């Protein structure tokens, strides 16, 4: 079962934060320092979040007037939030839900939600309340993830859920990485059997989406899930599909290479392939770096 896309907020991602005595009381402090909730939009094919040291809140009751700022990268919105301004220090961009996922190639995207929410009882403005606490882990079978005595993040997550009387949503990164990999294998087989470029385009986009979610943080590995989507896997797929394209007749080959080149202009993770594909359109031959090395 896949989880629906949702927006969440991470405590103390880029600011100092000390574990409070009560998370609900801390959330509902009388003074509203910032009217924006800095959040990220994630999904099963891109579990890409801001660095997490403390509990993350999820929100589901988001109406059409709640979104203030948005971009497919970190927009450093803290200063705009404090000033009650919707201006940005860096350019913003608003996208439809899946487009936001497909265009996020930074470590995460950012969507700022209005902290004030109208009460259904008296129509007065109150602070928006979280609907659940999000707990993202590397593997559901890793017992360390649920060691409440030695895992500070899990301990805080449980406390935040209890204090707010809301459920915990557990996201098993390894489980979703395996499922997404199977989807990629399906798209790959569909392209190879039909030569319909929409399958290759969808395959590359899905791989790149998941690469963002499985990306290493400052060169560190965090779990087995990162082995399912990385630059090596993308290179393997590109090498294989380019060779298949080159085995086709001249017209089919030209059409597919042209479409692939156009895709590479808009996909960050394909930038290194732009010149290779461009040369192929004219030369019609292809060798990956390993084969070129062997031929020397």
Model confidence over 227-281: pLDDT tens digits? Answer: 999 999 999 999 999 999 999 999 999 999 999 999 999 999 999 999 999 999 9
| Residue 226 counted as domain residue | yes
- Same-domain pairing of 125 and 247: no
Domain that holds residue 212: 180-295
**Mean per-residue pLDDT, 20-31:** 88
In a domain, 187, yes or no: yes
Asked whether residue 192 is assigned to any structural domain, the reply reads yes
Final residue belonging to a domain, choices 123, 138, 173 = 173
Residue 128: what pLDDT?
Answer: 85
Does the residue 273 lie in any domain?
Answer: yes
Sheet holding 168-172, edge to edge: 67-71, 110-114, 36-42, 6-10, 56-59, 132-137, 168-172
The answer to whether residues 162 and 191 belong to one domain is no
Domain boundary pick from 106, 139, 173: 173
- pLDDT above 50 (res 290): no
* Structural domain contains residue 1: no
Q: How many domains does the chain have?
A: 2
pLDDT digits (tens, 9 = 90+) for 259-268: 999 999 999 9
Q: In whole angstroms, give the CA distance from residue 293 to residue 108.
A: 36
Residues 184 and 135 in one domain: no
- Report the 10 Å Cβ neighbour count for 210: 27
Identify whether 135 is part of a domain.
Answer: yes
- Whether residue 52 is found in the same domain as residue 157: yes
Tell me if 70 is assigned to some domain: yes
**Per-residue confidence (pLDDT) for residue 82, from 0 to 100:** 53
Which residues does 166 contact at the CB level (< 8 Å), separation at least 6? Answer: 130, 131, 132, 133
Whether residue 212 sits in one domain with residue 276: yes
Using the 3D structure, point to which of 107, 141, 173 is the last residue of a domain.
173
Where does the pLDDT of residue 9 fall: very low under 50, low under 70, confident under 90, or very high at 90 and above? low
Cα dist from 152 to 159, 228, 230, whole Å? 11, 28, 29
- pLDDT of 288 above 80: no
Cα dist. 119→25, 27, 112 in Å?
Answer: 18, 17, 20
Q: Quick one: 186 and 141 in the same domain?
A: no
Query: Are 157 and 45 in a shared domain?
Result: yes
Say whether both 108 and 144 belong to one domain.
yes
- Considering only CA atoms, which of 178, 195, 276, 275 is closest in space to residue 241? 195
Same domain, 228 and 258: yes
Looking at every residue in the chain, the average pLDDT score rounds to: 84
pTM: 0.86
Q: What pLDDT, on a 0 to 100 scale, did the predictor assign at position 37?
A: 83
Distance CA 184, CA 181 (A): 5
User: What is the sign, positive or negative, of the torsion defined by CA atoms of 113, 115, 118, 121?
Assistant: positive
Q: Is 136 inside any structural domain? A: yes
Are 159 and 281 found together in one domain?
no
Note whether 223 and 253 are same-domain residues: yes
Regarding whether 188 and 158 lie in a shared domain, the answer is no
């Amino acid at each position: 079962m896949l989880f629906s896309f949702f927006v969440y907020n991470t405590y103390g991602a880029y600011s100092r934060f000390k574990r409070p005595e009560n998370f609900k009381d801390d959330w509902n402090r009388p003074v509203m320092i910032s009217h924006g909730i800095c959040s990220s939009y994630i999904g099963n094919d891109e579990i890409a979040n801001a660095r997490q040291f403390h509990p993350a809140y999820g929100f589901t009751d988001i109406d059409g007037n709640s979104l203030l700022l948005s971009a497919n990268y970190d927009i450093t919105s803290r200063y705009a939030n404090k000033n009650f301004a919707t201006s940005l220090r860096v350019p913003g961009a608003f996208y439809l839900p899946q487009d936001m996922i497909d265009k996020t190639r930074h470590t995460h995207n950012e969507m700022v939600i209005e902290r004030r929410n109208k009460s259904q009882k008296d129509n007065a403005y109150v602070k928006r309340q979280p609907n659940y606490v999000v707990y993202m882990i590397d593997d559901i079978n890793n017992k360390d993830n649920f060691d409440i005595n030695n895992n500070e993040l899990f301990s805080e997550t449980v406390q935040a859920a209890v204090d707010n009387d809301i459920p915990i949503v557990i996201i098993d990164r390894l489980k979703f990485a395996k499922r997404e990999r199977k989807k990629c294998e399906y798209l790959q087989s569909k392209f190879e059997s039909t030569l319909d470029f929409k399958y290759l385009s969808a395959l590359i986009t899905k791989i790149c989406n998941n690469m963002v979610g499985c990306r290493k943080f400052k060169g560190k590995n965090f779990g087995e899930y990162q082995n399912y989507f990385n630059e090596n896997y993308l290179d393997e797929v590109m090498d294989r599909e380019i060779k298949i394209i080159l085995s086709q007749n001249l017209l089919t080959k030209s059409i597919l290479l042209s479409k692939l080149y156009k895709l590479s202009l808009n996909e960050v993770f394909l930038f290194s392939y732009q010149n290779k594909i461009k040369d192929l359109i004219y030369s019609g031959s292809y060798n990956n770096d390993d084969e070129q090395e062997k031929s020397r």
